[in-house]
Amino acid sequence: MINRRGFALKGIVASGLSVMGSSLTSEPVQGVERLPFKPDGYNFWTWRGRKIHYVVQGEGFPIVLIHGFGASAFHWRYNIPELAKNYKVYAVDLLGFGWSEKAIIEYDAMIWRDQVVDFLKEIVKEPTVLVGNSLGGFTALVAAVGLPEQVVGLALLNSAGQFGDAKAKTTESEETFLQKFVLKPLKEVFQRVVLQILFWQAKQPTRIESVLKNVYINTSNVDDYLVESIKMPADDPNAGEVYYRLMTRFMLNQTDYTLDSFLSKLTCPLLLLWGDLDPWVGPAKANRIKEFYPNTTLVNLKAGHCPHDEVPELANKALVDWLSTIATKASSLQTV
């Protein structure tokens, strides 16, 4: 699904990072309301014995926001208050990220799909629109396919995921004694040492600031609030192990999960809200998705990888305009 080496370097803002100072003195974007930062989080839901954090505001037709790799519900700080003026807005932290539990498990894209599907069934309990950025976009896609009777619309913002390679062939061979008991353990030890070093480097303020400014074209929103929302999960004692598992076992198990395999099963309207200046996921990907799935509305924004936080006024307007048509259709279906 995602290039492993590139993701490890680009996605270094992960679930166990430490960043700049913790003082939240930065001013919010002028004219845009900002979700208050709460160090202890907002609401918690127990899923499969694990603690899951989420935010909920507003009343009306429900929307569920899903963050990207290394982020949290607080990454929707400028979207939740605005959308909540007309909708019931949920923002959930994926397992292993944000204020959700840093579970020591084998991470897989289907874990987050199951989490979101159960969140819709147990917490939302109504027809819903899913909105996801980056890794959260791919999670939203697979969840929409997994629960088509409840997901009536899907919005992807610079989504993760790749199209499958029809020419690629996978071959499996039985491991030799040397491979299984000598070379493989040595490789795992090497990986752990290297990733521990990368993890330590990723905690340094200059590294975090550099990564954030690499994906925000307009860096004015790279502020104390944003970096603190990434820093705090690093205090969890399991954060380093989660990072290791995400960078190795999770990244090794993505070849079966492609955009086309899920888009071919999607049944609801799709909005692509795309930052055209994203250094990681450019506009060509959005164009290919639209070509593959015709029931798509594409809105291009002059922004980087996180358009909802970089240009929240434009992202909110595009979402509200599109949501008004989806909510109207969903309401008419319910009354029939």
pLDDT in tens, 209-268: 778 899 999 999 999 899 889 888 877 889 888 988 888 876 666 666 899 999 999 999
List the chain residues with pLDDT less than 50. Answer: 1-23, 25, 169-173, 177-183, 336
**pLDDT for res 252:** 61
What residues does 63 pair with on adjacent strands?
89, 129
- Pairing between strand 50-57 and 62-66? unpaired
* CATH (one of 3.40.50.1820, 3.40.50.300, 1.10.10.10, 3.30.930.10) for 43-166+255-330: 3.40.50.1820
User: Structural domain boundaries of the chain?
Assistant: 43-166+255-330
Residue showing tokens 């993505």: 254
**pLDDT for res 211:** 84
Which sign, positive or negative, has the C-alpha torsion 151, 157, 160, 163?
positive
**pLDDT for res 237:** 87
**pLDDT for res 11:** 38
How many Cβ atoms from other residues are within 10 Å of residue 289's Cβ?
22
**pLDDT for res 26:** 60
305-311-316-322 Cα dihedral, nearest 10 degrees:
-60
**pLDDT for res 203:** 56
- Pairing between strand 128-133 and 151-157? parallel
Which of 57, 15, 52, 17 has the alpha carbon at shortest distance from 34? 57
Phi first, then psi: give them for residue 232, nearest 5 degrees.
-60, -40
**pLDDT for res 178:** 43
Note the pLDDT tens digit of each residue in 7-39.
333 433 333 333 333 335 466 777 789 999 999
**pLDDT for res 173:** 45
**pLDDT for res 15:** 33
